[in-house]
Amino acid sequence: MRILIGVQGTGNGHLSRCSALAEALSMYPDVHTQFLISGRDRNQLFDMDAFGDWQWRQGLSFVVEQGRVNVPETLRRNQWGQFWHDVKALDLSEYDLVVSDYEPITAWAGRLQRKQVIGLGRQYAFYKPTPSLPISLAQRQMLRWFAPTDRPVGMHWFDDASHILPPIIHQRGRTQTMQPGHYVVYLPFEPLAAIHELLKPFDGVTFHVFHPQAERQQVGHIHYHAPSRIGFAEAVARAEGIISNAGFETSSEALAAGKKILVKPLTGQFEQTANAQCLQRSRLAQVMWKLDQGAVAEFLEHGMANTCHWPNVAQAVAEWLHNGAQEPVHELSARLWQRSEFEDYMECLRSY
């Protein structure tokens, strides 16, 4: 069996999720998986070993300035001619299954070649109405246009619709010992100087800041790190809590590890706004809508940790794909959420 998986490389969450899926698929020797990554310059991608001999395309991405999506610049800077050339040049005829984690080239190639594309990832939770993730009709249509699919398989923290699975969580770093007073900070769209000013007053706390512009160094109580999925996962496992943008995968990894969470959604990105509102309503995380020292102080003093127990979804999805994705999505969804309930029950028993 040959599977093509397109991965949106703009955010590290897509890459983290798909690296877990890649490792799960590697357990099936009769499956050849080809990954296509787009949305970020090739030289800015890191920790890519799990994807084997992966392909790269320019794709589409958002322009972010000063922690805010710049829509006019996004429209102006994306190379639309190259994008449509890559869509038309991608031949899907050799693949038995095509999967897109919100990657638009594979998705649109499938649409043009009339080949079914499985849309697998967080954004596909919004593809159909989902009670705890309300967005406008126009926003839903925009999401559907960016990376269209015939078969949406979304991911969410709750069993909220029949097309939704629990999150795919990478298992690395989960055995580290927690260090009280240590916090991970992941705000990649905010200026590094602004992050430093945000954290500077809290000299009784140790912060580990991961940022695309950071180099490994220590400035007082703040440790700076270049991006690293393995290093980040290990730091999260050791931390008491995490301060991050409201991306789905980072929040999911923190919830799976039982960490307290403070999120600052990326301004102008309605998916992150919906994530933040959902986390706040469900009391799974605290929210700050701008970089705010008062919100950080409140979080450090009063933030509460929550733990969500989900099954190994990467393993289940890999098995589903290996079997030709024949099982209806609603049945796969029901099976995995039932397993989540069992995980919760077993954790309750272990706590006595």
Answer yes or no: is pLDDT of 344 > 70.
no
Residue 208 near residue 233 (C-beta atoms within 8 A): no
pLDDT, mean of residues 69-78? 83
What is the per-residue DSSP string for 221-265? TEEEE---HHHHHHHHHH-SEEEE---HHHHHHHHHTT-EEEE-P
In a domain, residue 211? The reply is: yes
Q: Within this chain, do residues 163 and 280 fall inside the same structural domain, yes or no? A: no
Q: Hey, which bits of 172-237 come out as E strands?
A: 182-186, 206-210, 217-219, 222-225
The pLDDT value given to residue 268: 84
The predicted-structure confidence for 146-185, as pLDDT tens digits, reads as follows: 999 999 999 999 999 999 999 999 876 556 789 999 999 9
In a domain, residue 112? The reply is: yes
The reported pTM is 0.92
Q: Within this chain, do residues 205 and 290 fall inside the same structural domain, yes or no? A: yes
Q: Within this chain, do residues 11 and 157 fall inside the same structural domain, yes or no? A: yes
Answer yes or no: is pLDDT of 206 > 50.
yes
Q: Within this chain, do residues 46 and 91 fall inside the same structural domain, yes or no? A: yes
pLDDT, mean of residues 111-139? 94
The pLDDT value given to residue 349: 47
Domain total in the chain: 2
Residue of higher predicted confidence among 69 and 30: 30
pLDDT, mean of residues 222-251? 95
Q: Within this chain, do residues 241 and 316 fall inside the same structural domain, yes or no? A: no
Judged by average pLDDT, the poorest of 42-46, 170-174, 273-277 is: 170-174
In a domain, residue 218? The reply is: yes
Q: Within this chain, do residues 42 and 165 fall inside the same structural domain, yes or no? A: yes
Q: Within this chain, do residues 105 and 248 fall inside the same structural domain, yes or no? A: no
CATH number at residue 204: 3.40.50.2000
Distance CA 63, CA 61 (A): 7
Boundaries of domain holding 33: 2-169+311-348
In a domain, residue 174? The reply is: no
